[in-house]
Each structure stands twice: as C-alpha cells, then as structure tokens.
C-alpha cells in the first residue's frame, strides 16, 4: 500500500508552537501584531512542519507576489540611492515591484525577513547588508522552502550565497597608488567602522599598495573612523596631534573624506596644499565640494541592475546551479582637486649677512 504524505496544515503549526490557529494566521498575515517571541516560535514551527501559506498556489514554486524585498542597513545613506533606483528600474522592466526594508536589528533580522515570505508578500531577497546573522540567513535559504537570495555590496564571509560586489581591495590599492605616484611617501588611512567587511578589504588594499612600494605604515597613521562625516572630522582632530604627520590620506569612503577635509580647515590646514585626500564611492557630493574630491567611483547603477536581474533569474528558475555566483565589478579612479604633489620640505631659514656700516 502506498502511503501518501499528509500536507502540513496551519493546525500542525499551531500545535507545534503551542498557540492558537488564529495567532498563527495573524503572525503570517500581520506579523507586527504578534510579539517577537511568539513570531520566533511560529517561524520555527513553520520550518519544522514544512507548512507554507496558500499551499496550492505556492506548490511547484509558482510565485504570485511578483515583488522583491531589498534589505539595507541605512536608507538615509545617499550611497544606496543610485543602487535602489537601478534595482527598481530593472525589476519594473521585468514586471516586478520592489519593497524596501530598512535597519534590521542584527539578532532578529532573519526572523523579520522570514515574515515577509511566510505572508506571501515577496518572492526573493536582495540583501545590501553584510551584518545580518549568517545562521538566520542559512535557515531562511534552507529547505523546505528556500528563499531566493542575492547579496550585493557587502559580501558575507564564508557564506554560500550568490554575490554581486565591487573590487574593494583592488580599488583601495589603486587609490593609494595614485598618492604614491604623486610623490607621497607618508600616507595615512581613515578606516571604516569596526567589524565591517568593507573596512577590512579597503584597509588591506591600502596596506598592499604601501608594502609594494616599500613604504612604511606607522600605526598612528591608521586612524579610527567610520562611514559618516562626523567620523572624518573626529579623525582630523587625531591627525593634528601626530608629530610626523602624513602628507596624504586615503579615506574608507567619501563621507569620512569630506568630514576630514572640513576638520582640517578648522585646524588651519588646507587640502591639497597641506594634505592630499582620496575618498571612495563617488557620491554626488564628491563633485560639488571645494575642492572637488578625488575618489574611487563604484559602479553603483550597474551593481543594482545586475543584482536585481540575477535575483529575478533565481526566482524564475533560470539560474539552477548550486555553485554560488560571485561577480566582481571594477571601480574607476576619478581624479579631481583634493590630490596634488606633496608640499616641498621647508628649508631652514638662512642667516642674513651682517650689515656693515662704515
């Protein structure tokens, strides 16, 4: 006799989570109305039982939402505006809408994202945040209902996900080499935030360029920073206290570079006459400050377009390989007004010959 496996029901989920079927229904349709602890139990029950809402429509992976979820760490950061615009354009051209989710706390980010899929609101996830907990993402993309996922901008180390990113390490090398080619030998670096994969990649690129040129890196030349202008201004205050100051700085991003230049002026130093500065990203503001910022231009529009297209390919089953796709896009060196040759060393004042009066 052939045994037919019973399709899991909402009652199975309720029994496993020890809640009512009404609570399960509410968690799936309006998760914000259910406590985080209860949502977590229901999410685990759904995973274990294999239950999917609207089972007949979801069988055979026939998605109906035609919407992708874009999760990012800070929607107020202008870096993401070009990427989001490109994602929306690519999705619209293929008949998909875009839902944006902002600022997922680290510990419950995977659970909150799963809510979107369990309530059948989105079909795939484009993740622009490398700080999301890997274990929760693995649960999100695992059986019985794996979520199509593309990681963009910030690669998650040791994660088996499709990734679209830019060449952060090599671009940082090029930025530092630009300063070396101008004749700078004392070159410092303003780091990004601690624990960020971009911080590590760009600092490593800076170090490789310095080592390849046979130049020393003094620990005090590597300044704690972040990705905000205020972090750059704070770095300028620490820079001023260095006895043997660098003649050039490579900043981990444009905002910290702009803040650093502003901080220099508060301390009576000018860019590039006293210190040359290179940023990273080529935000809109980079071309409009004075002097205009030399920077590495990330291909943000291409990144958004390619990542969105790859995600829709996953949703529609066109990318079936289990081998993760890793696409790396090239950045471009944009030379503007904040870099110049280092200032000439100041010669000691010579003594004037004595004036002899006869």
* 126 within domain boundaries: no
The single residue listed with the structure tokens 């444009």 is: 254
- Predicted confidence at residue 106, as pLDDT, reads 52
Domain stop point among 30, 46, 62: 46
Burial of 215 (0-12, 13-18, 19+ CB in 10 A): middle
**DSSP letter (8 states) at residue 280:** E
* 79 within domain boundaries: no
Tokens of 145: 């209902």
Closest CA to 153 of 307, 272, 39: 307
Domain stop point among 298, 315, 343: 298
- Predicted confidence at residue 49, as pLDDT, reads 85
Give CA–CA dist 263/356, Å, rounded: 49
Closest CA to 69 of 92, 96, 101: 101
Which CATH number does the domain housing residue 236 bear? 3.40.50.2300
**3-state helix vs strand vs coil in the chain, percent to 5:** 40, 15, 45
Closest CA to 327 of 164, 168, 162: 164
* 9 within domain boundaries: yes
- Predicted confidence at residue 210, as pLDDT, reads 98
- Predicted confidence at residue 327, as pLDDT, reads 95
Number of folded domains in the chain? 2
Which CATH number does the domain housing residue 40 bear? 1.10.260
* 273 within domain boundaries: yes
Q: pLDDT tens-digit profile of 4-19?
A: 457 788 888 899 999 9
- Predicted confidence at residue 316, as pLDDT, reads 87
**DSSP letter (8 states) at residue 287:** G
165, containing H or E segment: strand 162-166
* 179 within domain boundaries: yes
Domain stop point among 247, 265, 298: 298
* pLDDT values of the chain reduced to their tens digit, one per residue, 358 residues: 444 457 788 888 899 999 988 888 777 766 667 887 888 888 888 888 878 664 433 433 344 578 999 998 888 888 999 999 999 999 999 999 999 988 655 545 556 666 666 666 788 999 998 877 777 777 777 666 678 999 999 888 888 899 999 999 999 999 999 999 999 999 999 999 998 999 999 999 999 999 999 999 999 999 999 999 999 999 999 999 999 999 999 999 999 999 999 999 999 999 999 999 999 999 999 999 999 999 999 999 999 999 999 999 999 886 666 678 899 999 999 999 999 999 887 655 444 444 334 4
**Domain carrying residue 18:** 1-46
* 232 within domain boundaries: yes
* 82 within domain boundaries: no
* 234 within domain boundaries: yes
- Predicted confidence at residue 39, as pLDDT, reads 83
Tokens of 132: 């999301």
- Predicted confidence at residue 185, as pLDDT, reads 98
- Predicted confidence at residue 61, as pLDDT, reads 38
């Amino acid at each position: 006799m052939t045994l037919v496996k019973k399709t899991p029901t909402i009652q199975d989920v309720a029994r496993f989570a020890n809640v009512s079927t009404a609570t399960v229904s509410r968690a799936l349709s309006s998760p914000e109305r259910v406590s985080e602890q209860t949502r977590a139990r229901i999410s685990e029950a759904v995973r274990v039982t294999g239950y999917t809402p609207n089972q007949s429509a979801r069988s055979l992976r026939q998605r109906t939402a035609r919407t992708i979820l874009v999760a990012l760490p800070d929607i107020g950061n202008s870096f993401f505006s070009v990427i989001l615009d490109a994602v929306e354009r690519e999705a619209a051209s293929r008949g998909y809408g875009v839902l944006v989710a902002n600022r997922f706390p680290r510990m419950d980010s995977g659970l909150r994202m799963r809510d979107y899929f369990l309530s059948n609101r989105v079909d795939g996830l484009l993740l622009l945040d490398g700080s999301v907990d890997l274990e929760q993402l693995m649960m999100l993309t695992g059986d019985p209902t794996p979520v199509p996922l593309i990681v963009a901008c910030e690669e998650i180390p040791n994660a088996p996900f499709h990734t679209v990113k830019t060449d952060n390490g090599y671009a940082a090398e090029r930025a530092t080499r630009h300063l070396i080619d101008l004749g700078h030998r004392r070159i410092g670096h303003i780091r990004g935030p601690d624990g960020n994969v971009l911080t590590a990649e760009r600092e490593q690129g800076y170090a490789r360029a310095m080592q390849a040129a046979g130049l020393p890196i003094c620990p005090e030349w590597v300044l704690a920073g972040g990705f905000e202008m205020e972090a750059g201004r704070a770095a300028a205050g620490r820079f001023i206290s260095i006895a043997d100051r660098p003649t050039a700085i490579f900043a981990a991003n444009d905002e910290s570079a702009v803040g650093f230049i502003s901080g220099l002026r508060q301390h009576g130093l000018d860019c590039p006459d006293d210190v040359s500065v290179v940023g990273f990203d080529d935000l809109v503001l980079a071309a409009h400050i004075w002097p205009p910022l030399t920077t590495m231009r990330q291909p943000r529009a291409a990144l958004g377009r390619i990542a969105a297209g790859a995600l829709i390919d996953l949703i529609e089953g066109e990318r079936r390989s289990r081998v993760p796709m890793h696409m790396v896009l090239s950045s471009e060196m944009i030379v503007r007004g904040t870099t110049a040759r280092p200032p000439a060393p100041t010669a000691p004042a010579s003594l004037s010959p004595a004036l002899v009066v006869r």
